[in-house]
Amino acid sequence: MIVLGIETSCDETAAAVVDDSRRIRAEAVLSQTAEHRPYGGVVPEIAARSHIDHLDRLIGEVMAKAGIAYRDLDGVAATAGPGLIGGLIVGLMTGKAIAAVHACRFIAVNHLEAHALSARLTGAVPFPYLLLLISGGHCQLLVVEGVGRYRRLGTTIDDAVGEAFDKGAKMLGLGYPGGPAIEAAAATGDPDRFELPRPLIGRPGCDFSFAGLKTALVHAVRAAAPLDAATVADLAAALQTAIGDVLCDRTRHALATYRAARPAAPTLVVAGGVAANRYLRDRLAALAAQAGVTLRIPPPRLCTDNATMVAWAGIERLQAGLGDRLDAPARARWPLDPAAAPGAKA
């Protein structure tokens, strides 16, 4: 089975060809970072126009590199949500057109499901498993029961962790994107120089909160102004450490909740763009080792937005007998667990 994947949910234009033997035949990602950097964040209209300008070329490139014709495809998988609606429409309509013209199956992929299943592309991870999904727009803990079957244990009640990184970097004058900038600055910083809160830490449940942490950073930045390079590094390290403490605490609670219902030790999967952060990967690896559970994190290039995971999600859904009609809609919001109570970033 060979599937073409298309990803246009935010500010990466991406295409990939993957087969059911877990072989990535070709992949391409075009980042729009330079186009959005002057604005300090993603501008939806600029993102959509850039997808229009580059998507057809990228698809042609990956098809050529994969050495296949469109008639060889078993399916076309395109991200249908959640995300910026203009960009989603570009990728979705392109995928539908290819599927219609070449008479192959079409799969409207939930971007969050693509992240959730990405660890199964790089290795055998049996269902069920516990998922920590951390990205610019989402921060959730879920039990992954199977393809299309998710039970949410916790979500953010205000801001996502990636947003905390981005806003923190902006406060510190580190630019956009914020996650890599904070990680680089924190490498030489003293995380103990500034005291920042750990929202919800130690409390029951698995929900997250980062709004108060951002507010505390604002006050710390103002009190320390004017900022020199060492102070910026120390503030970045304090922010990154606080985020790591919150993620580990909430994940520890989720592991306890999971184990209360299942005697076997779970596999912990961490996915999403923030999972590319090396400091957080190391912190979560230490947590998993202490808890005696197996940890699986995709390589960094498959943590950030990409079409390879979209193609793989398409394969998983086709293998499960799931496909979509060509009238499948684009969805700005699309929760993995529709039965869960609405959250700020569901």
DSSP 233-293: HHHHHHHHHHHHHHHHHHHHHHHHHHHHH-SSPPEEEEESGGGG-HHHHHHHHHHHHHHT-
Residues composing the chain: 346
pLDDT of amino acid 332: 95
Count CB atoms within 10 A of the CB of residue 195: 9
Q: Which residues pair with 335 in a beta bridge?
A: none
* 206 & 144 share domain: yes
pLDDT of amino acid 345: 52
Residues 160, 223: Cα–Cα separation, whole Å? 25
* 35 & 74 share domain: yes
pLDDT of amino acid 137: 87
* 244 & 147 share domain: yes
Measured at the CA of 48, the angle between CA 46 and CA 51, to 5 degrees, comes to: 110
* 142 & 276 share domain: yes
* 136 & 257 share domain: yes
* 138 & 222 share domain: yes
Taking only the tens of pLDDT, the chain with its 346 residues reads 999 999 999 999 999 999 999 999 999 999 998 899 888 889 999 999 999 999 999 999 999 999 999 999 999 999 999 999 999 999 999 999 999 999 999 999 999 999 999 999 998 899 999 999 999 889 999 999 999 999 999 999 999 999 999 999 999 999 888 999 999 999 999 999 999 999 999 999 999 999 999 999 999 999 999 999 999 999 999 999 999 999 999 999 999 999 888 867 789 999 999 999 999 999 999 999 999 999 999 999 999 999 999 999 999 999 999 999 999 999 999 999 998 866 555 4
- 23: domain CATH number is 3.30.420.40
If DSSP codes are grouped into helix, strand and coil, which group holds residue 229?
helix
pLDDT of amino acid 343: 59
Give the C-alpha distances (Å, rounded to integers) separating 145 from 116, 126, 199, 258, 327. 11, 9, 29, 12, 28
For residue 44, tell me if it sits in a domain. Answer: yes
Encoding tokens for residue 127? Answer: 């269902």
**Domain count along the chain:** 2
* 284 & 137 share domain: yes
Residues 12, 31: Cα–Cα separation, whole Å? 5
pLDDT of amino acid 39: 86
* 105 & 231 share domain: no
For residue 6, tell me if it sits in a domain. Answer: yes
Q: 253-271: per-residue pLDDT in tens?
A: 999 999 888 867 789 999 9
pLDDT of amino acid 171: 96
pLDDT of amino acid 40: 83
* 307 & 289 share domain: no
Find the helix or strand (DSSP H, E) in which 75 lies. Answer: strand 75-81
pLDDT of amino acid 41: 84
* 159 & 249 share domain: yes
- pTM, whole model, 2 decimals? 0.94
pLDDT of amino acid 33: 86
For residue 248, tell me if it sits in a domain. Answer: yes
Q: Containing domain of residue 67, as a range?
A: 2-118+302-319
Residues 248, 254: Cα–Cα separation, whole Å? 10
* 228 & 145 share domain: yes
* 228 & 257 share domain: yes
If DSSP codes are grouped into helix, strand and coil, which group holds residue 25?
strand
Count CB atoms within 10 A of the CB of residue 227: 15
